[in-house]
Amino acid sequence: MSEGYAKTAGVAAAWLALTMIVIKLLGAISLFVLGFLLDREDFGVYAIALASAALVRAFQSGGVQHILVRSGEEEYNRLAPQCLWISVALNTVIAAVLVGFAPGIALANDEPQLKQMMYVIAATVLIAAARPVMYAKILIDLRYSLQARLNMWMSFIQYAGMIALAALGFGPLSFVLPLLAVAAIETVVLLRVVGLPSGRRLPSLALWPPILVQSQWLLLAAAADALHTHGDKMFIGTIVDTDTVGVYAFAYMIAFQALALLSMRLREMLFPILSKIKDDINRQAAAVTRTLSALMMITAPAMIGISITFPALEQALYDGKWAGAVIATQILCAIIPLRSLITLINSWNMAMGAFKTQFLVLLVCGVTTVAGSLVGAVVGGTATSIAIGVGAANLAMFPTMMVVQLRNRGVSWTRIFGAFKPYLLAIGLGTPAWVGLPFLFAAMQIQAGRVLPLLVACAAAGVYGLMYAAAIRVLLPDQLRDTLSIIPGGLGEKAIKALRLELPTRTDPTP
């Protein structure tokens, strides 16, 4: 039934949103604490290390998780044993490459701790070698509750470890050492819950080429995605100093910690659903557009709320230590919902087997983002100018990519524009707060205080939230009802009744 898969996609988005809220709270708390404990150079060193390792790590596991999920339950038992060996072999090679390049990267950036950080990342890659195969089974079985609990616990361990190590004086190593614990614990849990695949245990090299051929475009796409996600921080370090990289990285982490989780979880949840209906473009379009609308309605107001409160929050918590990251954070928060569009495109392309298209889309986005960051670094040389360059590139690229993909697959202009309405509404209502609050602080002569500006900003964010909720209820009742209807546990239906919205009866998902 077409509506059934669209509904399943919606439920997946609901689990995603609920998980993201909890993990984002944990991440936000840890990041704000780390902002106290670490300095700007520590954040810069970490950003360079992560970016340097990203392109190499893109090739780890050989894309076997996506191959297994797309192949489905019937093919899992046949392919999984060899996919496990492929993952172990490739991860071993990747770890060796990271270890080999670590001294050179540390020397090039004149940061000795980069070598140690690269060694830790290499060890993490080795420990997590079997994860993609076991995790694929969870995705194939659509076990969203298990997936959500696993993600939340692993995030808690990671963030708690980061804070503890930073307090003990480990500096930038505080970011990467907890990853070892996360990789080890998650592997043990997956072994107990899922287990290694049954069947032929010995590697059969003759079976590897057909599997790797399927993943060649996936691997290239992963590399392009790494360029898109981390390339800006890798290359701006050649133009600006480590402190400036650290300020931009701090703003990036505040704004994009939600997006990083959102992108990974959304891909993991939506991809198996679309794979199960890969022969029905109408069902896929219904699932994608419904998920897009729900994501815009959830993420847009949340990110605008963060951008409204962050200037006063920085003043209250850090007293100007991270003042250079304020405007950069606001810009990046405003474009977060648009960047999530690429995740939707990727899930759809992977489900349809359009891996070359996926690679090209990510490559264009990656090159555009890197170019925008380099222009910002050259022209202004500050975190704000870099964010402006990245924001302008994203604003031009991501909606264009989404519209082209949806239109090429038969989705109407009306449905596309409708999915973007929550985002446009959030931006429209948030603009007065962005523009007006600085003037309000100046008029009240409280810009030098710490607590009162935060109270005023929180009040402004609260008013904004109420205005957005009222506007959605009046202007977009159908989309609000659809979004609420996918909340599990009967809560969505209760919310629909409380808001006096009609229960959904539409069954035609044709785009």
- 492 or 471: which leads in pLDDT: 471
Report the amino acid identity of residue 374: L
- Average pLDDT rounded to a whole number, residues 319-341: 86
| Phi and psi, residue 248, nearest 5° | -65, -40
- Tally of CA atoms within 13 A in the half-sphere of 126 that contains its CB: 13
- 510 or 386: which leads in pLDDT: 386
- Residue identified by tokens 């209906």 is 277
CB count within 10 Å of CB 451 equals 11
* Least confident interval from 191-200, 307-316, 471-480: 191-200
Q: How far apart are CA 470 and CA 264, in angstroms?
A: 31
- Residue identified by tokens 């910002």 is 376
* Cβ(73)–Cβ(137) below 8 Å: no
Q: How far apart are CA 62 and CA 209, in angstroms?
A: 11
Task: Work out the percent of the chain whose per-residue pLDDT is above 70.
Answer: 83
pLDDT at 447: 55
| Secondary structure letter of residue 238 according to DSSP | G
pLDDT at 510: 36
* Least confident interval from 169-178, 251-260, 445-454, 463-472: 445-454
Residue 143 has pLDDT above 90, yes or no: no
Confidence of residue 269 (pLDDT cuts 50, 70, 90): low
- Average pLDDT rounded to a whole number, residues 212-218: 74
Summarize pLDDT for 51-105 with one digit per residue, the tens: 877 777 777 666 778 778 777 777 787 888 888 888 888 889 889 999 998 998 8
* Domain residue extents for the chain: 2-498
| Secondary structure letter of residue 61 according to DSSP | G
- 420 or 403: which leads in pLDDT: 420
Residue 227 has pLDDT above 70, yes or no: yes
Residue 376 has pLDDT above 90, yes or no: yes
- Average pLDDT rounded to a whole number, residues 253-282: 62
Q: How far apart are CA 69 and CA 353, in angstroms?
A: 12
Q: How far apart are CA 433 and CA 330, in angstroms?
A: 12
* Cβ(252)–Cβ(394) below 8 Å: no
C-alpha angle with apex 57: 51 to 62, nearest 5 degrees? 155
pLDDT at 345: 77
| Secondary structure letter of residue 60 according to DSSP | G
- Average pLDDT rounded to a whole number, residues 131-141: 85
